Amino acid sequence: MQLTAREIADLLNGEIVGNKDATVSAPARIEYAKPGHICFFANPKYEKYVYSSKASIILVNKTFEPSQPVSATLIKVDDAYSAVTDLLAYYQSKKKNKDLLNSSVFHLLFRKKRIGKGTKIGDFTFIGKNVTIGKDCTVYPQVFIGDNVTIGDNTVLYPGVRIYNDCIIGSNCIIHSNVVIGADGFGFAPREDETWKKIPQTGNVIIEDDVELGANTTVDRATMGSTIVHKGVKLDDHCMIAHNVEVGENTVMAALTGIAGSTHIGNNCIFGGQVGVAGHLHIAPYTTLAAKTGLINSVKEEHKVLIGSPAFDYNSFMRAYVKFRASGKKD
């Protein structure tokens, strides 16, 4: 797909410095860009590439004034980092509709299903009974959508996604490949003979609007009631959200984070990679857990930064670490 500098400037509300008819066909990083590429400059440490780049167009902040000649056409915007996000989203929206196959007889679009206008369904996708899918959704091949599932508008389900019965997915969500939503929670009761009896998991999962779930992430259904991932949450690949967990708005979690059952997480929390959180805890809003933190107690104060396993205050950890390092030095 080719775009001119005029079209991009109109899309991003930018100002052109250079050739208004310059054309590009793909985005690229500024270090590796070639003619026909568009890239962006926002971090001062990359300024040298503005002058050496072979890109046809570079997005820059309106405050940027080059100190050397620039061969590329510049498009000045309020925030180059934000603008390139909008541009990439535009590119992706134009590409994704070409990736689907809609000719297969295996589209099971019958029996009390409601499919919104503009929604595209990939080959070999199964859709159960009483399913509702909103407008302008993209469902890639080999997706499973169980009975009584509801999906909002403009949501994307990548190949291999599995959504079990009775779950609710909001609008503007992105669910990456092999995500499983609504599998049974890990609930077992001990018997006298030292075996385990399975506890029926009768609830569902609610994923609110603007949520993104990374590849191979799992969100288990509640034992009773709902496991809830509130709007704006972003989960990386291989995260695990257990039964009856509630994840607050705009919380983000890096890869391999696991949250045990019935824990409530506040809004705007940040969890690093490989964080482990025990069950039945309450975590205050704006809590930050550094990578590999193991949390076994509730966090009652907002804006706490914790590290270590078991977790404790970040500043205290760093002071203790300095003493630990000092004690390990040889005379």
- Give strand pairing partners of 299: 283
**Burial per residue of 164-183, b for 16 or more beta-carbon CB atoms within 10 angstroms, e otherwise:** bbbbbbbbbbbbbbbbbbbe
CA atoms within 13 A on the CB side of 267: 4
Q: Give SS3 for 48.
A: helix
- Please list, in sequence order, all residues whose beta carbon lies within 8 angstroms of the beta carbon of residue 16, skipping any fewer than 6 positions away: 5, 6, 9, 73, 74, 75, 76
- In the set 37, 238, 243, 303, the catalytic residue is 243
User: Which residues, 6 or more positions from 69, have their beta carbon under 8 angstroms from its beta carbon?
Assistant: 51
Phi, psi of 46 (to 5 degrees): -100, 10
Q: Which residue is it, tokens 């934000």?
A: 82
- CB within 8 A of 207, min separation 6: which ones? 167, 168, 169, 170, 173, 175, 181, 213, 219, 229
6 half-sphere exposure, CB direction, 13 A CA radius = 2
Active site residue 243: yes
Active-site residue set: 243
